[in-house]
């Protein structure tokens, strides 16, 4: 049975595709999120957004290999970023008490980069059910 899961977070996890250090020879260009990168500051901001995206995916990958990962979506009403992914083996992320319990426990205290587009004023680390949430979207 495949489990479709949605991850929502208050941290800016925009997928930008910027995976390297600053490279002046590439300037200007548009990143995967449609942001124009004109200088070192733009590059670093885009790279930090991508780093947050990668961090969340690495946490998920501690337990399972996520499949069918969607692009990040920002919801201005909730000030949260979200994406969906599939897990082939639901037991890889479940505890007896919660079908997503292992995902939640793996997130505790993971450092994140702040001062991007998020509205956070809190500690720059993942705190399940406070600044990161997982929900089952569909079971197949």
- What are the residue boundaries of the structural domains of the chain, listed by start? 3-139
What's the pLDDT tens digit per position in 46-61?
999 999 999 999 999 9
Average pLDDT, the chain: 92
| C-alpha distance from residue 56 to each of 84, 92, 106, 140 (Å) | 12, 17, 10, 24
pLDDT over 70 at 13, yes or no: yes
Indicate the pTM of the whole model: 0.92
pLDDT category, 1, cuts 50, 70, 90? Answer: confident
**Is the pLDDT at 45 greater than 70, yes or no?**
yes
pLDDT above 70 as % of the chain: 96
Using pLDDT thresholds of 50, 70 and 90, give the confidence band for residue 140: low
Residue 102: the pLDDT is 96
Q: What is the pLDDT of residues 94-139, one digit of tens each?
A: 999 999 999 999 999 999 999 998 886 678 999 999 999 999 998 6
- Where are the strands (E) in 33-129, listed by range? 36-37, 73-75, 80-87
Dmax over CA atoms of the chain, in Å, equals 52
């Amino acid at each position: 049975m495949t489990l479709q899961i949605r991850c929502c977070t208050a941290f800016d996890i925009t997928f930008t595709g910027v995976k390297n250090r600053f490279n002046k020879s590439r300037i200007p260009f548009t990143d995967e999120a449609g942001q124009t990168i004109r200088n070192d500051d733009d590059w670093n901001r885009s790279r930090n957004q991508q780093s947050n995206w990668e961090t969340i995916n690495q946490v998920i990958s501690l337990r399972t290999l996520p499949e069918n990962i969607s692009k990040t979506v920002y919801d201005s009403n909730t000030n949260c970023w979200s994406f969906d992914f599939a897990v082939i083996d639901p037991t890889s992320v479940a505890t007896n008490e919660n079908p997503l319990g292992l995902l939640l426990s793996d997130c505790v205290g993971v450092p994140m980069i702040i001062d991007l587009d998020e509205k956070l004023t809190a500690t720059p680390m993942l705190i399940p059910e406070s600044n990161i949430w997982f929900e089952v979207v569909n079971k197949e």
